[in-house]
Structure 1
Amino acid sequence: MLRKLYFTFLLLILISTPQLLSQNSGISFERLGIKEGLLSKEVQFITKDAQGFLWLGFKQSISRYDGYHFTHFPQAEMLFGLSSDHKGKIWFANINGLFSLDEKSLKIQKEISSNLHDAFPENDHYENIYADSQGRVWSNDFNNIKCYEPQTKHLKVFRITPSYQFNIFKSRFVEDIQGRVWVTNQWGIQCYDPLRKRLWKVLKNQSVSDIAFLSKDSVLFATPNEGIFLLEISLKRISPFVKLPSKSDVPVFLKPAHLPSHFWLGTDRSLYLFNAQEQSFIDFSNLREEGITMKDCYLDTQNQITWLASSVGLLKHDFAIDATLLQVDLPKKLVAFPVKVTCFFHENSERNWLGLSHTGVLSWNEKNNDFQMFAIPNGAPVNQLLKDDTGNLLACTQRAIFRLNLEKKSWEKLISFSTNIKKVCLTRQHQLWCLPEWGAIQVYDWQTHQLVQPWKELPYQNFFQQNVFTDILETEDGNLWFSAWFPKGFGIAHFDIKKKQFVLAENQNKHTDFVTDYYLSLAYHAPNTIAISGYGGFNVLNTVTGKIIRTGASGNLKLKGGNCNSIVLDKKGTIWMGTTEGVCSVGKQNQVSYFSEKDGLTENDVVHGYSLNSANQLWLGFTNQFNILQLERLQQKHIKSNLKISTIEILGDTTLVNTHESLVFEPQQNNLTIRLSPLNFKSASQNHIRFKLADIHENWIDNGNAEMISFSNLSPKQYELLVQQGDSQGNWASVPLAINFEIKPHFYQTWWFQTLLGFLVLVAVYSFYLYRIRQIKEIYTVRNKISADLHDEVGSTISGINIISNILKQRLIEQPENKGFVERISEDAKKIAEALDDIVWSIKPQNDSLENVLSRMTRYASELFEAKNINYQLQLPEDLSGIALPMEKRHDIYLIFKETVNNIAKHSQCTEASIKIMIQKKSILLSIQDNGVGFDTNQKTDRNGIQNIRERVNKYQGKLDIQSNPKTGSLFLIDLPI
């Protein structure tokens, strides 16, 4: 526990001086500016919330960054500070007071209001915001350190100035492991003891820029003029530690770095990485040359990233890349710039050889970073480095091959070439095969250095003249494989050392298996496997069978650019290719990823010096430097999923999501784009996403590197979206992120509306049913009344006429000339009575069934045929129950039957008749036949019987077929729908 004490502080001349600055040392920064989405290039503050989002403070704005996009929260006033606590709040201040922003709901709340109407400016300022682990919010004004406790809404004020001041000063806060808050400013160092709830003045009257813990008991603090000091807390002792690299630098912050005993020192004009153990500084001269002013620093230990706020934007250093990628600068003192590293040869774990585009060959000792130059005569470009069977280093230039005498540090020319050579291979047969830029392959006997011809014959005439060979490789069986450009074929071939002949791969494979006719590079992978890359992708062959066993076309794999310049296979069988878009890796399951400038690579255009050593390191040559890529680290399977929803785009409008609440959308909001972020702030190429909707998608849908998932025309229901995070090597997190959301139905799609609508439909149907029943009953009543009236009134009248006509016939016996008139009256009355009887019968509702119709038809036919002494047969259907007919149709069917039977009885002169009535699915079939005199169906007649039958049949789209000839009888076939 600190008691009130004052350290005796003597401003002594520092006896410790910093070691010689090392420049860059492979540490690189990615810069994010206005082009990447920042509102301003001058970033003032940096913090990170509990979810993992990065928050930036500008002069008049706050921004949230998810690794893909910036979301801005503009402020009307100038920002005084920005910090995040561990309880889900972002704290900031401006002239109007102290504010909190809920990191999930993104709602802003004013915690303390400024009093702009009094005479005390201290009430109006909460500068340099800092939230400690207990949720207390620290700040300062002109004269005081302020501590606000959100739970109690209590504000504590600690006066630190010796006299009243009117100038705002800069304070920085840091909390130690005991929960004490240390404060630095122009008034010295103060420390807040949470047990005593007092702020002690540890150091007075000395301006301190920032403080950082070297250990639990020792503290380093930076001063503007005197350098860095060491404070030993238990000994109550302050001592000079090291001078600043430049007297003109004014420290802004001193923050822990990713390495033990290392600290980031930001100044008003540059940045340094300070090694406290060695008391040395790494200077970033490129930042110094730009005159960058550093503002703030945040160490993201979870993602192994250092974030730096500066006057030129947001700087990002991914120190995980330091363990993955090493950038080594060539020594200017040994070689003139610019120079390219064209090739490598790995002698052992410490010594490596670098071929250069001019001057010669560099030897590099990786352990002590020591370079040695071995100049080539005339400084010719070195195309290739290799060793002969005695272990001597060979350097191949376009016009000669040299052997190094390591003791004398000189080169001996062994062979001079007559043409430009770009690639050589020294075989087990002690032959040197040389590939020229154009023309025939040259082969030298390595012992005699004389040209030889190993092949018996060539595959075809002008084989060398028509093709261009690009690479050569010897396999374990001694055969030589070539990549080439075959304009009239496919550029893969090998030389069979036993048969002494060239074998074209196109003769052993389907032409559709080749990705191109122009191949550029070869790589061997045991056992018996080679890979060949070129324009359009790559192929993998079995060297024993000569068969293509794998095809990786650029179009199918969506390879960027399409040009695969160089190729190697690592120990796991992953293919690594140099392209114009960086280093491309293709896994065994064809998962594709890129390592590019965004990941720290010097350049995207990987063309020169491509080599894989035994330690699974990929060496890449560039201008003035080379990179070493640790493939093992790139392939690690540690997926820490921290997927979060960043924003949701609804019908094209971006909406900030309150993750405290359920995601419920209106019916018209059924077109969604959900933006996600793993919040690891890695290059997009290193993050992969796949998703599926539960109970809808059976398999995962690969979303590639895209961070947004879009859905259109979603039906109203509840959904569960499962999202899985993966890496560039095809590894996936075991537990997916589950996002539950709901699309609300339209009111007419809700259960209550559909229930109500169904009820109303049932009511309407039932009402219509009742109405129809009443209507039918009324019709039945009217029909019964009509039939009764006709029967009672008209029927009695006609009966009276018939009776009177009979009486008249008896009384007119003596007047035979009037008897015919009376008989006619009697006959007409009888017909009227029969017709009236038919009408009355048809009107009665009781006779609507087909069974009643057939009963009346058979009764009529029986009476008529018996009266005429005609033998007849009747065949009726057995089951007629349930078949009802409309009144009009029932009446017409009866009349059709009656008319047909009447014609037979009156005109056919038959002695026999047959009537068959059959019921089919939707029709009634009448078959009426006699053995009478028949008639000519084509002869016109003035009788209306047949015409009436035909009209009634046509009325119902029925069918009438009359088959009759004179003296052969007649057959009536009538088919009527029912």
Structure 2
Amino acid sequence: MRCRIISTFSLYLVFICLIFYSPTYYSQEKNYDDISTYCSDPLKLYTNKDGLPQSNVISTAIDSVGKIWIGTQDGAAYYNSRSWEIKNMPAQSKSNYIQAIKVASDSSIWFGILRGGVARLYKNKWDFYGVKDGLPSDYIITISEEVTIEKQSVVWIGTNKGLARRDGDKWEIINTDSEIGLAGNIIYGICQSSDGTMWFATNKGVSNYTNGKWEILALPFELSGRQIYKVFQAVDGSLWLGSNGLIGKFDGKNWQIFYIGDEKNNNVITSIHQSKNGTVWIGSMRGAWKVNRLKNNTYSSPDFIRFKIGTGSKDELLIWSISETSDGSLWFGTFLGLVRYTEGRWKGLTERMGIEQGGTTAIIQTKNGDYYFGTESGLLRFSNGKFETIKNITGSILYLYEDQEGALWVSVFFEGVYRFKNNVWKKYQKNDGLADNRIWFIYQSLDKSIWFGSDAGVSKLVNDKFTMYTTADGLNDNTVLCMYESIDSTLWFGTTNGVSILKKGRWENFSIENNLAGKAINDIYGYNYGEKKEKTIWFATLGNGIYEYELKTKSLNNYNSTRQPYISNNSVYRIEEDKYGKLYFLTNNKITRFTFINNDEILSEKFGIEDGLPNDEGISSASFVDLKGRLWFGTTEGATYFDPYLEVIDTVSKPLIIERIYVENYYSEINISENINFNYTQNTISFEFALLSYFRETENLFSFQLVGFDDKQSNWTSDYKKEYSKLPAGNYTFYVWGKDYGDKISGPIKLGFSILPPWWQTAWFRILMFIFFASIIYLIIRFYISQKVKKRVAELEKKNIIEKERSRISRDMHDSIGSNLTRVAILSDRIENDINNGTMDKNKIGEIKKRIKSIGQISRENIDSMNEIIWSLSPKYDTVNSLIFYMNHYLNEMFENSSTKYIFDFPEIIKDITLTPEIRRNIFLIFKEAINNLAKHSQATSVLVTLKVNEFNLEFEIEDNGIGFFESNPYSNENMPGFGLDNMKIRANSVNADLSIKSSSGKGTIVRFSIILNS
């Protein structure tokens, strides 16, 4: 091609340069010789049936955590690899049409609403801006962000009436009236280049803004005067502009022009994106293109990408927007929905061999590069970039094979086989020597013999002559499905009843001793692990998985769907090997690949529809490795191939997030990035998490552990929610791990939280309770000690009382009984002297009688004193009743034989109140002294004794009508007893009692006594 360099100084210089240079053009035209051009990449379409609010996806974006956001004609939504969450705009009644989405550096998400202003979502809170808030128009077309040198965020809004610039909380309107450097007022696209310059694609060209200055970019004549719809900067710093049907690439000096689509038809460029591998993707009104980045920052011509979303869908698909997730998946917002596109995987081919034709039943590429595909309805050939149907052959194709001479062999169901050699077709049937017209396989051995397997045995063609072998010759079954020749020329035959071997002309039943009897063998493959000779022979069975026979050890290993390494299905049709020594197994459900690691470990991988297969169900005999090393397999809805050289190995750990927390089964809008405190009533916690792995996302697995509750990490599970019920108070940390389809583990991520104890379990309450109970214990101990002290004091007091009582008794006995006994002794001595002297006259006898009478009186007084002492000492008399009884007894003795009348008034019923011996004795002695004084000195003719008692007090009153006395000198005569009134008062004071005596001469005497019993 010719090259033309376009200067940017002015259009005048451009025309001068045209004289010397011609432009560099790249169109979509290319060589269609390779069949891959007609193959489609793995796509997955998300529509409203999958949860989108509406299928027309206008805008896309990836947020700060890795979720994919879309904007539709009826609201926004995001995908967490499990489900779609719809987000309607805050003013959806006005408009819910999302024209643009921008994720800002602060993680806020901006939504440009067509005829509805701008909405901002930040931490689940909405802000809304319209014309009243500073926008030039509510017709929003695009949104972008400028990050300043100071790392400040400035938001730019493109509308149909100019720009709005938001710096902080301040809005500024910019249009062609205010800035001559703005090319046009309809702003289609905005981007920031690596040097901080802001670029604007408008309806009248491109402008840039830097350091407060505006400037219009001079464009080459191919773009001059056109509307520029997109502006984008690639990683190499080049600027890419999208217009109608063409792309302009500007490296700062020179322009390159890429034509996109048919120049005669409108093909507006809607989006430009550069993927991680450097490929530039272009979305337009008529589909998607990619421009591969080559060495030296050059780019290939655009390649058209076929978007075969479903049977009958068009290749040309309106692309609105393009985004890319961390796993390298590309997301295209289209008119039909959101399309996920993944490179480096399986590609599908359904042209004229899809479900309508019964799928792809056989595949082969001949030495001249032509591809042949067998279907249920005939034979299809791809040659020189074109597909054609082989009209010579009709019917269901069972098998395709090319022999060493380049002849093509075709097995047709119930029709025998066809040979295509030197452009001539020749047919062989049972009549020609074949064992049967239904041929399951065709194989050429090293001796150039052609073998055919059928339901009636195996046929061998040599020099155009057939030889047939059956069970009669040594086959273990007549239905022969496959064949393999090992390097030592041993022929292996797979039948519906195991494996037979033909070695050096001798048949052997391999199945019996190797446990393959009764198993249908679909394919046999010799694997040498990179060596010249096979080390193992592999058998694909119908329903029993795969068997690996080790030739050296003669051992047989089985691989199936129930144990590791797993295969996707136990019905295995074909075995193929790629250039890296990996084995591929076509099964009834997906394709399984074994990768051998150090010869002792096998990595098993499964591939299905999401990987690019037209259908998960494979077809027997449909596999082949082409001349470029690509592995081809047939499915019920078309063919698929995998290029191991172009495989993109996904090694990226996917973003893992804790998405929601439910407290007591209610969603809690809390910041899950911080430690959280819950009260004791909020102890049922549920965590909802997501692994943002979007390829084969249904295979995402999770493991979790709540440290502080769970003893160990859980097993892997597809459950994305974990609930913990009735957690006790404490500190916890929740950990979660994620694992994607390829067993790549993300995490753990963690979230700490606490269940606060109830107030009665808090530290302050426990401290308070400790103080309380410590105080109680202290008081109990103190009370116990005080009681012990009191008891000891009481014991000591009692002992002291006893000692006092003993002393008193000793005194009393000395004073009363002792003196009386002394008097008795003196009187007795006198009587003895009188008797001994013999002077017993009448007078002496009278004296002796008086003395004997005195002795008797003194003895009775001693008896009374002894009774009184015994009464005071006996514990059984320590009651009020006993005291009253003894007082009454004493009254009776004193006034019984006298003329004095007396009355003792006391309650009939008296509670059983206990008195101490000291109190009882002193009360009685006070009472006795009062009665004695009254009887000896008062000359009273009547006495009234009144006694009152209850559980608290005891009091008595003694009143007589005697002669009385003056209180200053009571009873002052020679006959006054030794105790006197002073002794009564001393005794009263000793027991804390009150004693009063009131008397006057001639008016009698009143003695009042009162004591508190519980004192």
Give the TM-score range, shorter chain.
Answer: 0.5 to 0.7
Residue of structure 1 aligned with 2:163, choices 142, 145, 165 = 145
1:271-302 CA-to-partner distances (Å, cap 9, x unmatched) read 24276954775675879967998473123274
Asked if residue 744 in structure 1 is aligned to residue 755 in structure 2, the reply is yes
- Residue 255 of structure 1 and its aligned partner are, at CA, apart by 1.5
Aligned to 1:851: none
Whether the aligned pair in 1 keeps the contact of 2:582 and 2:593 (CA below 8 Å) is yes
- Residue 53 of structure 1 and its aligned partner are, at CA, apart by 2.1
What pairs up with 1:931-946 in 2 under 5 angstroms?
none
Whether the aligned pair in 1 keeps the contact of 2:483 and 2:524 (CA below 8 Å) is yes
Q: Judging changes above 3 Å, is the alpha-carbon distance between structure 1 residues 352 and 653 closer, same or farther for their aligned structure 2 residues? A: farther
Whether the aligned pair in 2 keeps the contact of 1:263 and 1:274 (CA below 8 Å) is yes
What pairs up with 1:286-435 in 2 under 5 angstroms?
294=318, 296-300=320-324, 302-318=326-342, 320=343, 323-328=344-349, 330=351, 338=357, 340-345=359-364, 353-360=372-379, 362=381, 369=385, 377-388=392-403, 392-398=407-413, 404=419, 406-408=421-423, 410-411=425-426, 413=428, 416-427=434-445, 434-435=452-453
1:902-945 CA-to-partner distances (Å, cap 9, x unmatched) read xxxxxxxxxxxxxxxxxxxxxxxxxxxxxxxxxxxxxxxxxxxx
Aligned to 2:586: 578
- TM-score under structure 2 normalisation? 0.61
Whether the aligned pair in 2 keeps the contact of 1:415 and 1:449 (CA below 8 Å) is yes
Q: Give the distance between the partners of 1:171 and 1:446, measured in 2 at CA.
A: 73
Asked if residue 644 in structure 1 is aligned to residue 657 in structure 2, the reply is yes
1:611-665 CA-to-partner distances (Å, cap 9, x unmatched) read 4569764311246852212356668473344333334455555556635423555
Aligned to 1:176: 193
Q: Judging changes above 3 Å, is the alpha-carbon distance between structure 1 residues 331 and 8 closer, same or farther for their aligned structure 2 residues? A: farther
1:240-272 CA-to-partner distances (Å, cap 9, x unmatched) read 8748527564626142465878542422xx424
Aligned to 2:894: none
What pairs up with 1:323-722 in 2 under 5 angstroms?
323-328=344-349, 330=351, 338=357, 340-345=359-364, 353-360=372-379, 362=381, 369=385, 377-388=392-403, 392-398=407-413, 404=419, 406-408=421-423, 410-411=425-426, 413=428, 416-427=434-445, 434-437=452-455, 440-444=456-460, 446-447=462-463, 449-453=465-469, 464=477, 470-481=481-492, 485=496, 492-495=498-501, 497=503, 500-503=506-509, 505=511, 507-508=513-514, 520-526=522-528, 527-535=535-543, 537-543=545-551, 546-554=554-562, 563-568=571-576, 576-585=584-593, 593-608=605-620, 609-611=622-624, 617-622=630-635, 625-631=638-644, 636=649, 638-649=651-662, 652-653=665-666, 658-664=671-677, 668-677=682-691, 679-684=692-697, 689-690=702-703, 701-703=714-716, 716-720=729-733
What pairs up with 1:710-789 in 2 under 5 angstroms?
716-720=729-733, 723=736, 726=739, 728-730=741-743, 732=745, 736-747=747-758, 750-754=762-766, 756-757=768-769, 760=772
Q: Give the distance between the partners of 1:708 and 1:575, measured in 2 at CA.
A: 37
Q: Give the distance between the partners of 1:50 and 1:563, measured in 2 at CA.
A: 45
Aligned to 1:44: 58
- Residue 590 of structure 1 and its aligned partner are, at CA, apart by 7.1
Residue of structure 1 aligned with 2:246, choices 216, 221, 228 = 228
Q: Judging changes above 3 Å, is the alpha-carbon distance between structure 1 residues 373 and 501 closer, same or farther for their aligned structure 2 residues? A: same
Q: Give the distance between the partners of 1:645 and 1:327, measured in 2 at CA.
A: 36
Q: Give the distance between the partners of 1:229 and 1:553, measured in 2 at CA.
A: 51
- Residue 359 of structure 1 and its aligned partner are, at CA, apart by 3.8
* More moved, 556-565 vs 79-88: 556-565
Whether the aligned pair in 2 keeps the contact of 1:520 and 1:535 (CA below 8 Å) is no
| Residue identity opposite 1:139 in structure 2 | I
1:755-788 CA-to-partner distances (Å, cap 9, x unmatched) read 5555555555666666677789999999999999
| Residue identity opposite 1:64 in structure 2 | Y
- Residue 216 of structure 1 and its aligned partner are, at CA, apart by 5.1
Whether the aligned pair in 1 keeps the contact of 2:540 and 2:573 (CA below 8 Å) is no
Q: Give the distance between the partners of 1:616 and 1:283, measured in 2 at CA.
A: 23
Aligned to 1:194: 210
Matched residue of 2:327: which SS? Answer: coil
Whether the aligned pair in 1 keeps the contact of 2:380 and 2:389 (CA below 8 Å) is yes
Aligned to 2:86: 72
Aligned to 1:90: 109
Asked if residue 30 in structure 1 is aligned to residue 44 in structure 2, the reply is yes
Q: Give the distance between the partners of 2:570 and 2:477, measured in 1 at CA.
A: 27
| Residue identity opposite 1:450 in structure 2 | F
Q: Judging changes above 3 Å, is the alpha-carbon distance between structure 1 residues 243 and 555 closer, same or farther for their aligned structure 2 residues? A: closer
Whether the aligned pair in 2 keeps the contact of 1:292 and 1:310 (CA below 8 Å) is no
- Residue 144 of structure 1 and its aligned partner are, at CA, apart by 2.4
Q: Judging changes above 3 Å, is the alpha-carbon distance between structure 1 residues 382 and 106 closer, same or farther for their aligned structure 2 residues? A: same
Whether the aligned pair in 2 keeps the contact of 1:344 and 1:352 (CA below 8 Å) is yes
Aligned to 1:949: none
Matched residue of 2:136: which SS? Answer: helix
Q: Give the distance between the partners of 2:590 and 2:198, measured in 1 at CA.
A: 46
Instruction: Quote the sequence identity (%).
Output: 12
Whether the aligned pair in 2 keeps the contact of 1:60 and 1:76 (CA below 8 Å) is no
Q: Judging changes above 3 Å, is the alpha-carbon distance between structure 1 residues 131 and 531 closer, same or farther for their aligned structure 2 residues? A: farther
- Residue 6 of structure 1 and its aligned partner are, at CA, apart by 8.2
Give the alignment's Cα RMSD to 1 decimal. Answer: 5.4
| Residue identity opposite 2:60 in structure 1 | I
1:144-183 CA-to-partner distances (Å, cap 9, x unmatched) read 2122223xx333322226999xx99562223334333222
| Residue identity opposite 1:441 in structure 2 | G
Whether the aligned pair in 1 keeps the contact of 2:71 and 2:101 (CA below 8 Å) is yes
Whether the aligned pair in 2 keeps the contact of 1:647 and 1:676 (CA below 8 Å) is no
Aligned residues: 748
- Residue 389 of structure 1 and its aligned partner are, at CA, apart by 5.6
Q: Give the distance between the partners of 1:690 and 1:127, measured in 2 at CA.
A: 43
Q: Give the distance between the partners of 2:26 and 2:566, measured in 1 at CA.
A: 55
Asked if residue 209 in structure 1 is aligned to residue 233 in structure 2, the reply is no
Q: Judging changes above 3 Å, is the alpha-carbon distance between structure 1 residues 192 and 20 closer, same or farther for their aligned structure 2 residues? A: closer
- Residue 47 of structure 1 and its aligned partner are, at CA, apart by 1.6
- Residue 594 of structure 1 and its aligned partner are, at CA, apart by 3.0
- Residue 138 of structure 1 and its aligned partner are, at CA, apart by 1.1
Q: Give the distance between the partners of 1:349 and 1:752, measured in 2 at CA.
A: 89
Q: Give the distance between the partners of 2:404 and 2:269, measured in 1 at CA.
A: 60
- Residue 382 of structure 1 and its aligned partner are, at CA, apart by 3.3
Structure of larger gyration radius: 2
Whether the aligned pair in 2 keeps the contact of 1:714 and 1:743 (CA below 8 Å) is no
- Residue 83 of structure 1 and its aligned partner are, at CA, apart by 0.8
Q: Structure 2: 5+ residue runs without aligned partners? A: 1-6, 292-298, 529-534, 810-875, 877-1015
Whether the aligned pair in 2 keeps the contact of 1:342 and 1:621 (CA below 8 Å) is yes
Q: Give the distance between the partners of 2:686 and 2:671, measured in 1 at CA.
A: 16
Q: Judging changes above 3 Å, is the alpha-carbon distance between structure 1 residues 551 and 29 closer, same or farther for their aligned structure 2 residues? A: closer
Q: Give the distance between the partners of 1:585 and 1:265, measured in 2 at CA.
A: 34
Q: Judging changes above 3 Å, is the alpha-carbon distance between structure 1 residues 554 and 138 closer, same or farther for their aligned structure 2 residues? A: same
